[in-house]
């Protein structure tokens, strides 16, 4: 690239800009120049002088100053040679190049600091001969080389034109070179001088310049110069591209800075920077926080980081949101518990009918809290069928003890981060649902309902139920760690209440941390009371009938419950009452009056014919048909078990979508009947001549469990003996091959299902008698219980 510095340089420096002679044809006059055989020699570092080129040189070495002064006083001619190694301070003859240029000292200037500056012009090329002396400076014989003969050929003209074009392009791409330099280049007419001038200004290694000087043939010299210029042009283009790109980036930064300064000035005029005000408000708010030392240090480091950041940076909002969460969390802020046990009992009774076991447990917790003053909250789990008020009971508990209430729905949750939070560096990161709800309710000791804890999912994204282990462990939750908060938070004062329909779906480790409280379904009497106290007033209010007087008596409510619903809870009952209220609202809107009492006939008119009937148990009285009791996650239910015999080879067929355990119960029952055939009054030869088919209706519904064991045995015995099963009789219990009857679970739900279905007698294992005694006697009035220990007792009671 052409040189870009116009200052005078010493002979020790590289960068210079040659002065163009006033008359470029001085070379023609130099043909007659007489050069002595012996010349003083001036070594130059990093510089090659070409014929015709004028250079300003600052001479610094003592020998060089002496040589220049002596030459200037005589004929002003001096031999200029380039040093091979610029680092040598005192060169020997071997350190000098062999080809140099005879120069005329045009001007010698004494500088104030004692230095000497000379302006020299190259005249002719010479070859160094024998050194005659080196003291006080080098003198040597010189042999003049022939002058350049410019060929008059088309090729050489193209060379010259190419050199001018390439040099002009390089000047154009070099921002520090004046554009006049390209005009000067175009106006140089002497080809030899043009080559020398451009060669002198190359930004190349000294060896390359010296090589150009040593080439005798001007054609070859021009060709070599073109190659070097092409390489320099490529470098200049690349440099210009990089410079432009950098300049664009710097311009954008300068523009952004300028706009930011303007924005700052505007904000100052409006009363200060919004971000500074926000940070100041955060600091002020932090002073009132009662947080632990670790949280205080975390906030302090975060606010210092925020002050150093520019609001437009990406991480500013991340840090800001994290600090905002820390300020919003109620660190060690608690609501005062209401220790009035009588008032708490009154509130619980007013909100929910029945549920004495749960109410008693809550009152016990409050009593201990009142006496001790501090107690880790228990982790309760309300287990029961849908629609019995598990979730709403949590709200009532919060109301009774004077705490805030929050509900976390866990149904379908499949990401562990929903509990523990995401790391704050992720896009869209947020704290887990536990801390989100703590933040929302502004209290560190709320009643938190973990709804549907048995319906948590689990997949490749994680297992949220495992994350809940820390939350629901009283020994660990005082230091619950949230990934977003990056700080431990105390959850030990939170009263966690989980709700579930099916205990089997809860992970064993999680189940171990829960205090399970069973909520069984409601009896008809309880549903009547719930409808009168809660459902009817709610539906009247919802349908604009609060001020309209009409009654729904107990008999009508019983009819709705028994003939239009089959459930453990009261959701379906609530929907049926809503249908009646809509009808009454329509009547009142059209006629401006309603009947004072809703009768059974009105119910049939509004809701249609009865959906469920107890007549089926009267018509099903034939040998081989028995009524069993089942438990499902929606409560108790009744099921028929039918057995029929046909001619065959004694094969057993089971249908009705039965599970493995239920199939094994059927096989066990058949084995017992076969082993005790004569005792039961069955001909043993029948087992080889009859095929047995056991069917459980409602084949689309999967069925499993051991509790239908005595029902299947009774059905088989009835079919083989031809004796009918006693009408309106149901039974449940597991059997063994020895003929013993074992206890089963879900007794209350099963008994209530039998009562709803209109059954009158129930056979149970003797060990289940304690479960029956826990049921309110008013709910099972009219039912007769038979407690048995062996299968023989079952057969004696069941078959007529």
In terms of phi and psi (left: phi > 0; alpha: psi -120 to 50; beta: otherwise), the region of 354 is left
Q: How many angstroms separate the Cα of 434 from the Cα of each of 377, 445, 470?
A: 16, 12, 12
DSSP state of 785: E
- Rounded to whole angstroms, the Cα distance separating 634 from 756 reads 14
Nearest to 329 by CA among 494, 452, 466: 494
CB 331 within 8 A of CB 444: yes
- What SS3 state is found at 81? strand
Hey, which bits of 411-552 come out as E strands? 447-451, 480-482, 487-489, 495-500, 515-518, 551-552
Enter the tokens of residue 42. 């001036």
Q: Which residues carry out catalysis? A: 707, 750
- Rounded to whole angstroms, the Cα distance separating 639 from 759 reads 12
CB 533 within 8 A of CB 525: no
Burial code of 66-104, b = ≥16 C-beta within 10 A, e = fewer? bbbbebbeeebbbbbbbbbebeeeebeeeebbebbbbbb
Nearest to 95 by CA among 138, 63, 58, 135: 138
- For every residue of 239-260, DSSP letters joined together read HHHHHHHHHHHHHHHHHHHHHH
Enter the tokens of residue 451. 């709804």
- Rounded to whole angstroms, the Cα distance separating 127 from 122 reads 14
Nearest to 278 by CA among 314, 318, 307: 307
Enter the tokens of residue 374. 């501090």
Close Cβ partners of 434 (under 8 Å, ≥ 6 residues apart): 408, 419, 448, 471, 480, 482, 491
Nearest to 658 by CA among 635, 617, 628: 628
Other CB atoms within 10 A of residue 64 CB: 23
Nearest to 334 by CA among 294, 299, 367, 369: 369
Close Cβ partners of 248 (under 8 Å, ≥ 6 residues apart): none
**Cross-strand bridge partners of residue 481:** 488
Matching residue, tokens 């319906």:
455
- For every residue of 10-54, DSSP letters joined together read ETT-S---PBPPS-TTHHHHGGG----SEEEEEEESS----TT-E
DSSP state of 740: B
Nearest to 194 by CA among 169, 226, 216: 226
- Rounded to whole angstroms, the Cα distance separating 125 from 123 reads 7
Query: Is the dihedral angle over the CA atoms 378, 379, 385, 386 positive or is it negative?
Result: positive
- Rounded to whole angstroms, the Cα distance separating 422 from 432 reads 7
Matching residue, tokens 């064993």:
508
Q: How many angstroms separate the Cα of 384 from the Cα of each of 43, 501, 774, 775, 778?
A: 106, 5, 16, 15, 21
Nearest to 413 by CA among 357, 463, 469, 477: 463
- What SS3 state is found at 483? coil
- Rounded to whole angstroms, the Cα distance separating 747 from 322 reads 52
């Amino acid at each position: 690239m052409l040189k870009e510095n116009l200052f005078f340089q010493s002979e020790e420096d590289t960068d210079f800009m040659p002065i163009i002679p006033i008359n470029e044809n001085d070379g023609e006059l130099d043909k007659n120049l007489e050069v002595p055989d012996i010349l003083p020699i001036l070594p130059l570092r990093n510089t090659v002088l070409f014929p015709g080129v004028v250079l300003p040189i600052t001479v610094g070495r003592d020998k060089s100053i002496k040589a220049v002064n002596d030459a200037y006083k005589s004929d002003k001619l001096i031999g200029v040679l380039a040093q091979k190694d610029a680092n040598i301070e005192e060169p020997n003859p071997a350190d000098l190049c062999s080809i140099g240029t005879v120069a005329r000292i045009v001007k010698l200037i004494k500088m104030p600091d004692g230095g000497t500056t000379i302006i020299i012009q190259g005249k002719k090329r010479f070859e160094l001969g024998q050194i005659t002396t080196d003291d006080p400076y080098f003198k040597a014989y010189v042999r003049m080389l022939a002058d350049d003969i410019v060929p008059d050929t088309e090729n050489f003209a193209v060379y010259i034109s190419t050199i001018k074009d390439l040099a002009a392009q390089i000047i154009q791409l070099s921002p520090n070179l004046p554009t006049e330099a390209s005009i000067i280049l175009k106006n140089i007419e002497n080809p030899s001088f043009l080559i020398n001038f451009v060669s002198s200004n190359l930004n190349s290694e000294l060896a390359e310049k010296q090589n150009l000087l040593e080439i005798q043939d001007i054609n070859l010299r021009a060709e070599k110069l073109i190659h070097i210029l092409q390489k320099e042009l490529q470098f200049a283009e690349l440099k210009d591209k990089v410079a432009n790109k950098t300049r664009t980036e710097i311009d954008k930064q300068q523009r952004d800075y300028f706009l930011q300064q303007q924005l700052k000035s505007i904000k100052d005029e409006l009363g200060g920077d919004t971000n500074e005000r926000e940070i100041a408000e955060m600091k002020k708010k932090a002073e009132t926080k009662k947080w632990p030392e670790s949280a205080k240090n975390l906030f302090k480091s975060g606010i210092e980081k925020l002050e150093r950041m520019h609001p437009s940076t990406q991480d500013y909002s991340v840090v800001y949101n994290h600090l905002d969460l820390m300020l919003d969390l109620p660190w060690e802020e608690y609501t005062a518990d209401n220790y009035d046990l009588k008032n708490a009992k009154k509130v619980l009774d007013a909100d929910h009918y029945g549920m004495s076991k749960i109410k008693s447990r809550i009152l016990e917790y409050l009593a201990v809290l009142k006496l001790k003053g501090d107690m880790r909250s228990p982790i309760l789990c309300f287990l029961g069928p849908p629609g019995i008020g598990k979730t709403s009971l949590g709200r009532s508990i919060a109301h009774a003890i004077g705490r805030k209430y929050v509900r976390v729905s866990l149904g379908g949750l499949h990401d562990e981060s929903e509990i523990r939070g995401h790391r704050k560096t992720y896009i869209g990161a947020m704290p887990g649902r536990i801390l989100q709800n703590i933040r929302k309710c502004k209290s560190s000791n709320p009643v938190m309902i973990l709804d549907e804890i048995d319906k948590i999912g689990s997949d490749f994204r994680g297992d949220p139920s495992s994350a809940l282990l820390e939350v629901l462990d009283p020994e660990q939750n005082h230091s619950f760690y949230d990934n977003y908060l990056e700080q431990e938070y105390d959850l030990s004062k939170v009263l966690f209440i989980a709700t579930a329909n099916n205990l089997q779906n809860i992970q064993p480790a999680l189940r171990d941390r829960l205090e399970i409280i069973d909520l069984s379904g409601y009896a008809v009497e309880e549903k009547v009371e719930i409808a009168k106290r809660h459902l009817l007033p709610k539906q009247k209010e919802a349908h604009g009938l609060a001020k309209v007087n009409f009654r729904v008596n107990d008999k009508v409510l019983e009819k709705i419950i028994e003939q239009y619903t089959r459930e453990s809870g009261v959701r379906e009952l609530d929907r049926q009452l809503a249908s009646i209220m809509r009808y009454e609202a329509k009547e009142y809107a059209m006629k401006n009056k309603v009947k004072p009492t809703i009768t059974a006939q009105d119910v049939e008119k509004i809701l249609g014919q009865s959906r469920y009937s107890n007549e089926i148990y009267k018509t099903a009285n034939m040998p081989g048909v028995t009524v069993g009791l089942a438990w499902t996650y929606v409560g108790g239910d009744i099921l028929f078990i039918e057995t029929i015999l046909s001619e065959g080879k004694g094969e057993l067929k089971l249908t009705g979508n039965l599970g493995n355990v239920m199939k094994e119960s059927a096989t066990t029952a058949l084995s017992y009947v076969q082993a005790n055939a004569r005792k039961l009054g069955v001909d043993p030869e029948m087992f080889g001549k009859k095929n047995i088919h056991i069917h459980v209706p409602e084949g689309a519904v999967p069925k499993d469990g051991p509790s239908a064991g005595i029902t299947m045995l009774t059905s088989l015995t009835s079919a083989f003996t031809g004796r009918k099963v006693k009408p309106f009789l149901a039974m449940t219990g597991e059997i063994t091959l020895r003929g013993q009857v074992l206890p089963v679970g879900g007794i209350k739900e099963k008994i209530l299902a039998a009562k709803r279905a209109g059954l009158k007698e129930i056979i149970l294992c003797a060990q289940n008698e304690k479960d029956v005694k826990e049921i309110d006697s008013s709910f099972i009035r009219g039912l007769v219980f038979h407690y048995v220990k062996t299968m023989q007792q079952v057969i004696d009671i069941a078959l007529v």
